[in-house]
Amino acid sequence: MEKVQLKYGNSTIHYDLEYANRKTLGIKVHPDKTVQVIAPLGSDPEKVKEKVYSKAAWIMKQQDFFLSFEPQTPPRKYISGETHLYLGKQYRLKLETSTKESVKLQGGNITVYLKDTTNSKRVKTLMAKWYKEKAKNHFEKLFSESLTITKGYYNNEPELKYRWMDKRWGSCDKKGTIHLNLELIKAPKQCIEYVIIHEICHINHLNHSTAFYNQLEKIFPDWKKVKDRLEKIMV
């Protein structure tokens, strides 16, 4: 495998070039945005480059699609009165002095109890812990529901993991492990379900091919609307 760079306007496309016993050039844009080019054995690398160049707009469109999965929540200051999302609803952050640290959902507020309410770093840590606990319950429940809906589309039951991620709502690796971004606990349940099902569809289709969308549409016909909602609510 060879790493190649290609200038296209102001952008640079990086791709992994491989040769295989095939007749035509294949280009794959993977969910992690890497580009794989498979050329027929004995092809001239310059000719390959020209062909990839002619497909550059398409490649970037595919990559953009993945970019749109980026959480766009503006940075929070973790001060009283600020709004924070939980399962698609906005809550007001309330900070209360207490010797015992805790986070509670009360009416329209997320109340954080802590010793020093001016310690925004501590507020952030406590909230992240709280979100993670909530995510554990909701993600697991939604995941097991999604497994029922998608039965027949996987051989080995996928496994669920979650963590804070910077650039992705979710991912699915070749072993069928699905990682969800903990940020998703801020989105409506329907959106979390969409991301889970989207990732489950990647078990059969590692890229965003027509076959991928056909499967997604079959399982989750409303996906476009829900994807839109996810991108709007997280702003």
Using CA atoms, how far apart are residues 22 and 179, in angstroms rounded to an integer?
34
Residue among 31 and 158 whose Cβ is closer to Zn ion: 31
Number of residues binding to Zn ion, judged by CB under 5 A: 1
Residue among 110 and 178 whose Cβ is closer to Zn ion: 178
Residue among 117 and 171 whose Cβ is closer to Zn ion: 171
> Is 170 a residue that touches Zn ion (CB under 5 A)?
no
> Is 31 a residue that touches Zn ion (CB under 5 A)?
yes
Q: Point out the residue whose Cβ comes nearest to Zn ion.
A: 31
Residue 212 beta carbon to Zn ion: minimum distance, rounded to whole angstroms: 7
Using CA atoms, how far apart are residues 137 and 123, in angstroms rounded to an integer?
22
Residue 168 beta carbon to Zn ion: minimum distance, rounded to whole angstroms: 9
Residue among 62 and 111 whose Cβ is closer to Zn ion: 62
Can you read off the two tokens belonging to residue 132? 């993670």
Nearest-10 Cα torsion for 211, 166, 163, 151: -10
Residue 31 beta carbon to Zn ion: minimum distance, rounded to whole angstroms: 5
Sheet arrangement for strand 11-20: 2-8, 11-20, 35-40, 26-29
Q: Using CB under 5 A, which of the segments 26-34, 74-82, 108-116, 218-226 binds Zn ion?
A: 26-34
Give the binding site for Zn ion (CB under 5 A). 31
